[in-house]
Structure 1
Amino acid sequence: MPMYLALTYTPDVDWSEPGHEDEMKEYREFGDAAAAVLRGGHALYPTATATTVRVTGGKGGDVVATDGPYAETKEALTGYYLLECADLDEAVAMAARIPAAWNGAVEVRPVIQFAEA
């Protein structure tokens, strides 16, 4: 069955800090309701904790790591779910149930499943 990555974009907050209990309850409720298709997922720490890595000059070049996210936006990538759904329509329907879709956005992308060696 196809796999889809549902990337959650919301205001950039630290979900591990107090004050998000009501929202976290909604995410737990989604997780319980979607258990049949969920194959993984986690919240991410705020973008201030991100490190962006580039290799200058291509393969074997100098590694340059900078603090912070690749791009600054109003909404930040704050988590993800890995969904196993029959098709894109089902994945979109599941993404609409993720609380991030109600006050931010959820990007759904198909996952390329390479054959194991």
Structure 2
Amino acid sequence: MKIFGFLLQFLTVLPFIPFLSIWLIYGFINGDNKKAFRLAMDVTTLFLILVVATMYNTIFGGSFGFYLIVLVLLIAGGLLGGAQNRKRGKIDALKLVKTIWRLTFFVMAFFYIIFLITGVIRYSLHIV
């Protein structure tokens, strides 16, 4: 069980490893790189949410990072759901969740890079 915990921590800290692993392995097995890329994005999003929340808490000295991300996801879901309802007259929940989840991948990847650079600079300058 300790090995599983260590592996989960390792994959969370380095979210590009599960992304590349899933993309390459599933792409090789299935032969559909587009589908493999989407699956890799979907799985990696969870790891990115966890690591960005932790980095946010570390950099800003709080414990609200995960809840802030969930709050933003809920607000984005409400806004996109409202737009979808106005445009089509109904809400396709599966499409809405997929859209939010995949947008979250790109936003969390952006914040991962920003927080990583910020953390390295703060550590280098001893601003902790």
Question: TM-score if structure 1 supplies the norm length?
Answer: 0.27
Larger radius of gyration: 2
Question: Which is helix-richer, 1 or 2?
Answer: 2
Structure possessing the higher relative contact order (Cα contacts under 8 Å, 6 or more residues apart):
1
Question: TM-score if structure 2 supplies the norm length?
Answer: 0.26
Question: Which is strand-richer, 1 or 2?
Answer: 1
